[in-house]
Amino acid sequence: MGWKIIVVSVILFLNAASTSSQSLAKPGCQEKCGELSIPYPFGVGNDDSDCFRDSHFHLVCNTSSGHPVLHFEGGNIPFLNISLEGQSTVYIWITIDCYNQSGRTYDGFQEIDITLGNILSFSSTRNKFTAIGCDTKAYMSSSLLSGDSFTSGCISFCTSDETLINGSCSGIGCCQTSIPNGLHTFNVSLSSFYNHTYSLDFNPCSYAFLADQDWFNNNFNFSSPDLMDLPKKRLLFRIGSSLALLLSFFASFWLYQLYKRIRSKKIKEKFFKQNGGLLLQQQISLEEGNFDNTKIFHGEELEKATDRYNVNRILGQGGQGTVYKGILTDGRIVAIKKSKKVEMVDEVQIKQFINELVVLSKINHRNVVKLLGCCLETEVPLLVYEFISSGTLFNHIHDRSDDDMPFTWDNRLRIATEVVGALSYLHSAASIPIYHRDVKSSNILLDDKYRAKVSDFGTSRPIAVDKTHLTTAVQGTLGYLDPQYFQSSQFTEKSDVYSFGVVLVELLTGEKPISSFRPGENKSLATYFLSSMEENRLFEILDAQVVKKGEKAEIEVVSNLAKRCLDLNGKNRPTMKEVTVELEGLRISKAHTLVQENHQEVDYCLINRPTCLQDSGSTSIGYKNLEKKAKPLDDQPLLCNPY
């Protein structure tokens, strides 16, 4: 839109009945808007008011600006006066087209539409279409009450302000044209020939409008500040409005960000409390530094580490949650376990979870995956563990590839010894005994040196030293589940022993714990193994690598140990510590035998074949070679646990 200064005379189409009898407002209706009288049939009121004849005469007295303005309901053209003799005066908008050295400015102001309504038309005798400017083309197109169309316009040009004559519109800097009868709506468009190139210093703008001729002649002056300073005022208005809008935008944006931060903080505090964060803080304060190696992570840090928990980062999924591979800001690769959402969590469960968290944070065993930290400010708790790179024992047994390590008998025996050593530590050497409750080959990880790491303590429970069992809802994995626990719901340390026995049988046979390829009751690996032992068919079901590389006596010792672990009566099963002693003893005995054999070989070489060491230059080198052969125990520091 343009600048609202132009006075226009309009004709009112009123019949005699509406004008002769009344010249004032109806009784009880508003008589004035400011100093302007409101005669009937015009009136101000609600839509159902009888203060006006019909909707065509419905006016509004707008006082929101502090100065009363009278205009039609739904319109914005203000009245200066209303005369029932047939004419009134209104304000309408001016069209503006300005230029600077770069070209046109104020895009969007070069064209306007004006509409009065069906009971009013612009006076063809009082008004003229007028254009002002020294490089100006102005056009008016309109519709008449008769339905006909009309187009007209004029051109003005000048090269010096000295040729301009105030009060005159002769075509030099100003031009005018008449309008037809019945004009009630029109469109004005404005442009230039040369972008005001020849008049920028004294006349950078063009103006077009419809105006009352008497008002124009009395008010028009080329030197009027209202006219000549209009571009500056418009520019100031646009810059001020834009700046205000920009400041408003930034203020709104800042307030929104502040709101988001406050809301996010409240949500985090809610989840932190819901997940037992306050209890954890209390426990940390009581530990006096024993929790220092376990970090409390922020949700954003772990979200970034997992690329917003991208499905491509999933390492595994289980009953307790999903494990993602994450890369922390310091470059460390970690495993982030996102717990499954639980609808209802009571205070007892929260306290239990926090106690387990504190206990696990203090576990420091080379064959247990280390807990690095946690995050409790998210909807579900997040646990951060060290990342173990070579996958699960399950995959190495059942889904082998050519790139896997040679799964020899010695490797199987070593892994079994490492696993049982870790479980024995949890049962008896940790500060509080811990039952794992989900021992299985898929919860045993292998690192880059193929050392075993017991993982996934989602169902683990610490137990008081003076207690022997936990009574819980049955949890675990089919095929590994202790039958006695399944029947009684009482989980004991011997329940973990049973599950380890199944893992031991997996290592011996290469078979899965549950398989539909085995008929009848033999679908269970434990049942299949025990029945084969009873029928003296053990070596028929063993893995080919075990039979090929293993010593028969060693295989029988381990098989009998597995049989004892799988005893249906938990009291007859060995403890984890007893299993550890037997497996470690077997490995030590095996290593001792190897050392003796190497000594005998060297002694024979020294006595009977002295030339066999000539390439080495001395017998001491021969003994160094012997030490290398006898060094498997030193190379595998995890064989014996230091407790």
Q: Which residues are tagged catalytic? A: 438
DSSP SS3 for 621: helix
Q: How far is CA 529 from the centre of its chain?
A: 50
Burial 182-211 (b: 16+ CB within 10 A, else e): bbbbbbbbbbbeebbebbbebbbbbbbbbb
Spatial distance between the Cα atoms of 33 and 47, rounded to a whole number of angstroms: 18
DSSP SS3 for 217: helix
Find out whether 98 and 86 touch, Cβ atoms under 8 Å: no
> Any idea which residue has 């085995």 for tokens?
518
What sign has the CA pseudo-torsion 595, 597, 600, 601? negative
Of 293, 291, 301, 292, the closest CA to residue 354 belongs to 291
Amino acid at 351: K
What sign has the CA pseudo-torsion 402, 403, 409, 412? negative
**Helix residue spans in 212-276 (DSSP H):** 213-219, 225-228, 230-274
Of 1, 171, 162, the closest CA to residue 77 belongs to 1
Of 240, 227, 220, 112, the closest CA to residue 165 belongs to 220
Spatial distance between the Cα atoms of 551 and 558, rounded to a whole number of angstroms: 11
Q: What's the DSSP call for residue 102?
A: T
Spatial distance between the Cα atoms of 553 and 530, rounded to a whole number of angstroms: 18
Q: Which two tokens stand for residue 617?
A: 């230059």
